[in-house]
Amino acid sequence: MLSPFEVGGKTFRNRVIMGSMHTGLEDKLEDAPKLAEFFRERAEGGVAAIVTGGYPPVLEGNLTPFGQPFNSQEIADAHRQVTEATHAGGALAILQLLHAGRYGYHPMAVSASASQSPITPFPARELSDEEVRATIKAYGEAAKYAKDAGYDGVQIMGSEGYLINQFLAERTNQRTDDWGGSAEKRMRFPIEIVKAVRAAVPEDFVIDYRISVLDLVEGGQTQEEIHELARQLQDAGVDMFSSGIGWHEAQVPTIVTSVPRGAFAWATAELREVVDVPVVIANRINTPQVAEQLLDGSFNPEGGEARTGGEPFGEFVSLARPMLADAEFVNRAAAGEAELINHCIACNQACLDHTFTNERATCLVNPRAGYETELKLLPTRTTKRVGIIGAGVAGLFGAEALAERGHHVEIFEASDKVGGQFQLAMRIPGKEEFVEALKNVQARLAKREVPIHLGSPRTPEELLEAGFDEVVVASGVTPRIPEFPGLAEALRGEVDGVSAMTYAELLSREKEAGKNVAVIGAGGIGYDVTEFLVEDRGGQPQSIREWNEQWGVTTDPEARANLTRPNPPQPLRKVTMLQRKITRMGRGLGKTTGWVHRAAVAMAGVEQIVGVTYEKLDSEGLHITVPAQDIKELQKALSKAKKAKDTEELARLETAIREERKELVIPVDTVVLCTGQESVRPDQADGTSEGVEQKVHIVGGADVAAELDAKRAIRQAVELAARL
């Protein structure tokens, strides 16, 4: 991983490339200084090269209406500070050229053929032959501007379902002219783009083509077509190939935390067999150990012991989100301190979810990412003793930030373990990464000599009396218990044949669920708990083979887009999910991950009931009432009335939902409560004692017990540390 490599006349100081991420700092020229500082920290952190977020060669190729095409001297001049910052840190700078095609979130969207993607509200019109040729020319001109801006190369985005991918796939290319009608003609567009770029730049200007090694959508390319394309692109002038996995509209997850590490490296390895230029492995590589094994050929897709005598899967690894989590990833690995790396948990909550809602990308475990010029942890001029109550993630990451600034910090935790809600989350199938995040932050705190006192409940007043100058209350949350007849008795184990428990009692294994379970509450915790109930793997991640089987991914080279029939495991229990709201379940889940959770629950045959009122719990089961009318018709009627702002119709529907109901009994042996949380605060945490209020600071769940939000909790704690 740490050895240098030559590509296209450029020396990469090691084999780690920071992959392209659209941070939201690309869209305005005035944000160039922020982007430069973001890159500077990653370059100084040791990566060999940095690939920018995507820049379109033409206006129509924008991802958003406010994007900035790379097609003028003005933008080239603005980017010199970006490339200079990258070079000052010792890394190469590569500009990604990306035409969104039908993924453009604006009315100017264009594509190979007229169509509309399922992830944008704007239909795309078909490019004319003249426009196709003009777009090809624009790629060459954009590459010239990139060279002028000081970039060492460009990455041509040919994957993830963007415009070039749209030309390559039957799914989106129904043309019958020179740009479609056969696989050979569909390949012409990217080949001509590479030729145009190669002709526009010097020989030592690197052309990296991000090729879709797996489309994972119906009507996508076969492996044979992908490999033939790669051979022709190499002949046209490509210096290296970066791997792209799946379209954004694919119904197969590709980067969420439940995807096994290195899950798609096999496809890159197969590409490597048919080309003579370096290839870059990507997706779900978040530790130096995995990176090293992929590069030296010892990676074992089945897990367990590393294999021996294997061929390398590629010449480089591309890490994107791990570089958001820790700019020092490579430096720490080089120093033999991999255990200190701020571990990317692949949650998408602050990076991709932000990108797809036009917010600036950052990182759940590193809120400074993307905010390097605004959220600074400067050395303190006045060293203070700071006591932190609670060793959940808000307390742990807040303590680290305070210690980094030079304060003397101690953590006091009432229970016998650290992690708070992370301790529960890491038990969910597919969230095993949370274990590493907790281990690594503890290692960093140990290096900074921050003591963690377990089994040590404290109040703010006690800590102030003990000589602490400031107190941070990060004591977290406790599950909220609803009220309806029989529930309290079931929680105490006093109902024959039926038990009740909170999600915390279930996940901590304080209580065990039976075979027929009702999950009350369908937010993020409800979905997590349901997945735990139907597929409890005892904390062991799936192997790549098991994951492929569940989601219908095949290595068969003849299968179009490498898709086959999904074969999920048999559920361990019969589960029914219930929610009070009449809206569709899972609406509040993450933008880029929610669909994965909904799909996993559906695969397990989980029954879902909305519009529920809980009447009682007894030995017969859970008694509920639901609207008497058809739920789907009610949902449609409500949506229509809301859009029309028909208050009279809305009132009528709400009355019907409330008054016209039918009774149901769900014969369960277990009820699990996922009904929200309440803040946990020690005595005097609100500053009621005289002289306490100015020195006590409440963060995380102790401050706001909304749906569990580690992103907000960690940011709040780090922001406090920056100003304390």
DSSP states of 188-247: HHHHHHHHHHHHHS-TTSEEEEEEEEE--STT---HHHHHHHHHHHHHHT--EEEEEES-
> How confident is the model over 324-339, as a mean pLDDT?
98
DSSP states of 393-405: HHHHHHHHHHHHH
DSSP states of 300-327: -TT-SSPPSSPPPS-SEEEESHHHHH-T
Strands 670-673, 499-502: parallel, antiparallel or unpaired by DSSP?
A: parallel
Catalytic position from the list 55, 145, 162, 527: 162
Say what the pLDDT of residue 682 is. Answer: 85
Return the sign of the alpha-carbon dihedral for residues 289, 292, 296, 302: positive
Residue 699 to residue 718: CA distance in whole angstroms? 10
Say what the pLDDT of residue 65 is. Answer: 87
Lowest mean pLDDT among 4-13, 114-123, 512-521, 704-713: 704-713
Say what the pLDDT of residue 393 is. Answer: 97
Residue 626 to residue 661: CA distance in whole angstroms? 5
> How confident is the model over 40-45, as a mean pLDDT?
98
User: Is a pLDDT exceeding 90 seen at residue 307?
Assistant: no
Q: 690: pLDDT confidence band, cut at 50, 70 and 90? A: low
User: Is a pLDDT exceeding 60 seen at residue 689?
Assistant: no
Q: 150: pLDDT confidence band, cut at 50, 70 and 90? A: very high
pLDDT in tens, 56-66: 999 999 998 88
Say what the pLDDT of residue 536 is. Answer: 87
Lowest mean pLDDT among 2-6, 17-21, 630-634: 630-634
Say what the pLDDT of residue 296 is. Answer: 96
pLDDT in tens, 246-293: 999 999 999 999 999 999 999 999 999 999 999 999 999 999 999 999
DSSP states of 440-495: HHHHHHHHTT--EETT----HHHHHHTT-SEEEE---EEE-----TTHHHHHTT-S
Spatial neighbors of 531 by CB under 8 A, at least 6 apart, are 428, 429, 430, 597, 600, 601, 604
Residue 410 to residue 703: CA distance in whole angstroms? 20
Provide the phi-psi class of 359: left if phi over 0, else alpha when psi is between -120 and 50, else beta.
beta
> How confident is the model over 142-167, as a mean pLDDT?
98
Kind plus residue range of the DSSP H or E element containing 673: strand 670-673
Residue 429 to residue 408: CA distance in whole angstroms? 37
Share of the chain above pLDDT 70, in %: 98
> How confident is the model over 572-585, as a mean pLDDT?
95
Q: Which of 666, 677, 575, 576 is nearest to 615 (CA)?
A: 666
Say what the pLDDT of residue 205 is. Answer: 98
145 tagged catalytic: no
- For 227-240, give one letter per residue: b (16+ CB within 10 A) or e: bbbbebbbebbbbb
Q: Which of 371, 246, 356 is nearest to 22 (CA)?
A: 356
Say what the pLDDT of residue 191 is. Answer: 98
Residue 473 to residue 484: CA distance in whole angstroms? 32
Q: 708: pLDDT confidence band, cut at 50, 70 and 90? A: low
Q: 692: pLDDT confidence band, cut at 50, 70 and 90? A: low
User: Is a pLDDT exceeding 80 seen at residue 693?
Assistant: no
> How confident is the model over 441-458, as a mean pLDDT?
98
Q: Which of 582, 669, 681 is nearest to 631 (CA)?
A: 582
Q: Across the chain, what does the average pLDDT equal?
A: 95
Query: What does the DSSP 8-state code read for residue 361?
Result: -
pLDDT in tens, 207-225: 999 999 999 999 999 999 9
User: Is a pLDDT exceeding 80 seen at residue 691?
Assistant: no
